A and B are shown apart, each in its own frame.
Chain A
Amino acid sequence: MAERSTDFDAIVVGAGPAGSCAAIELARAGKSVLLIERGPFPGSKNMYGGVVYPRILDELIPQWWEEAPIQRWVTRRSTMIMTPTQALTIDFRSQNWAAPPYNGATAYRPDFDHWLANKATDAGAQLLCSTVVTGVLRDSAGNVTGVRTDRPDGDLTAKVVIACDGVNSFIAKEVGLYGKADASNYTLGVKETLALPKETIDERFGVRGREGVDIEVVGCTEGVNGGGFVYTNLDTVSLGVVLKLPKLAAQKKRPEEIIASFKKHPAIAPLIEGAELKEYSAHVIPEAGYKMFPKLVGPGLLVAGDAAALCLAAGIWLEGVNFAMASGMYAGRAAAQALTRGNTGPDGLKPYLTMLDTSFVLKDHQKLQEIPHLVLSDRVQNQYPGFIANIVERMFRVDNPTPKPGLRRILLEERKRAGIRWRDLLRDGRTGMKGFG
């Protein structure tokens, strides 16, 4: 058997959405690229249970929706404000999202990532699975020149390394692109996959065919700052919570207890009654957005996807895979251009930052940089849900023979009862308007 070279133009670490998109760009540019995956196949290590917004794939895979392994196209988006006994839901449905070019979709990431990695190998990238990158190789000047793997004789060299190795990116940390880790920048996502017959899901969630539902919930995490979610797959429901790490530790609560309480809520329990638990999993999520970004370019190194903390947790917008795919695509594009120019130093790789800056990747994060902190603040988590739910309850409660109170009076009384100061309310409103406005 002929020995193969262990030297490549580029090495991409991690065959998730960011890594595969980077590899597609590099391979299409004619560069030799090795995509390394620690699992036995791309997606095998994934526990993501959310909604994918693949619009950015229009650039890479035209008509991607005809072949992408999606579960359901999201046609209903609900935002639920919850207290232990109340739930206020803002529900939006659009049939425009049930037809090409679609909007968001639920997907099993082992399927989605596997499909996307196949696109990279179809383009000419080489995929190496069951291989863990344990560190980077550097020259005497500190430039990254390759990676070390856990295999015997496991060194690989390349002119550019793209780190798409996930939220705990050991590569970015080893090269010093991250500052001191701050646990408050992270949440713990905990998810259950619950099996139900497709017909039951269709009936309970009010959808048909491949239509799906995305429900985001605030106020369901028993005082631990975070949120909840319910997503419909074809014959399973992904249900879970995200929990701010320091709060979870301080309150000494177990995530599975918080999920159990969420599942028992009167607004959730009927949706999943009789479901069979198929999977329980947990993962850390980089939720602090713009304020926790590492340096995205190092000497001979680019960082993309979760490794670059490119996860948007901005209340009504909870996105990550689209940011991963876009950042991976731009990283691959910038690396290919740098390789063509023969300059893979920090200056040569800098166009990556320009590409991110001029796209939604950094624009959205810059605009919404205060929102993750606002959404996970104590007021939004612990005071506003009850405040809003009580206002709505009193609006719809009939207290005859007492005449209906005015909305202004309800608002003033409930604000006082919730202990919310006007200046905090105004400050949060201003922050929200600045981000969302």
Chain B
Amino acid sequence: MTVVACLKWLTPHDADDRFGGISPADSSALEWALRLGEQRGEDVLAITVGPAAADTALRDALACGAQRAIRVDAVDELLSTDVAAAIASAIDGVDVSYVCCGDYSLDRGTGSVPAFLAAQIEARQALGLIEVVLGSDVIALRRLDGGRRERLRVDAPAVLSVEGATATLRRAPLSGALAARNATIEVVAGPVGSHLPTARRPYRPRARVLPPPKGGTLERVQSLLSGGAATKSHGVPVELSPDEAAERILAALDEWGYA
């Protein structure tokens, strides 16, 4: 079987390919793919959908320990459904156990490719993971709204999308770095032409669901006008020893859903 790591090549605005790279979330995904491959004794396949410059990311993955690399050749920006379909097509015939993706890319990504990919390859999905534990089972901790968490046992075949902080990509060994420079990258033809809407609109951040304001009319108006600051709790002054203060902070963070 094979563990697949999906990587997205990004080039900063107004910069050339020398400054390109993958997002921290994708680096993290690659590391999880490598760990899964080692634990399960499976090969790791790195795949990307992008231009020739993206070979750099694949070579880095090979240097770190991936056994195989595929680039779906695509120059234009694509819809998430098209990217997922292209990846699914490229790994058709591969006996996939897990697919590791970053939760979303830095170029205003929507984080939807992993979900579409799971649908395409008919695999389970565990998305937006903030912790992965590899034991006899793959246990993943998933971030939910409102600071809540969901702990899942994820059996293969499954698509995992992880946040950047879940793992640090290993340093490629020298032998891997040397070999990867001339390693073979399989290139398959990808979708042609842009499938994105031609009309570009200004960037708008994603909508967030907020709880309805509490209290009377005046307080609600004040809350709306002040962005919530007027009705926000300003905390409770406490006098504690350093140890107690640290405990109190951790308890508060836990209560707010950050732990």
Contact residues of A with B, CB < 8 Å? 1-4, 6, 34, 40-41, 44, 110, 114, 126-128, 130-131, 149-156
Contacts and interface: CB of A to CB of B under 8 A. Distances in A.
Contacts of B178: 4, 6, 34, 126, 128
B254 to A, nearest CB: 37
Given A1-B176, A130-B177, A153-B174, 14 more contacts: A1-B179, A4-B178, A4-B179, A4-B182, A6-B175, A34-B178, A44-B18, A128-B177, A150-B171, A151-B173, A152-B174, A153-B173, A154-B173, A155-B174
A182 to B, nearest CB: 36
A5 to B, nearest CB: 8
Contacts of B172: 151-152
A435 B67 CA distance: 61
A156 B175 CA distance: 9
Contact of B183 (A1, A41, A131, A150): A1
A131 B174 CA distance: 9
Contacts of A128: 177-178, 181
Contacts of B180: 1
B69 to A, nearest CB: 9
Contacts of B34: none
Q: Is the interface of B mostly helix, strand, loop or mixed?
A: helix
B64 to A, nearest CB: 10
B49 interface: no
Interface in B178-230: 178-183
Contacts of A40: 18
Contact of B175 (A4, A34, A126): A4
A104 to B, nearest CB: 25
A313 B181 CA distance: 39
Interface of B: 18, 62, 67, 171-183
Contacts of A1: 62, 67, 176, 179-180, 183
B82 to A, nearest CB: 30
A78 B62 CA distance: 52
Nearest to B21: A40
Contacts of B177: 128, 130-131, 151
B38 to A, nearest CB: 14
B179 A6 contact: no
A154 B67 contact: no
B179 A152 contact: no
B174 A154 contact: yes
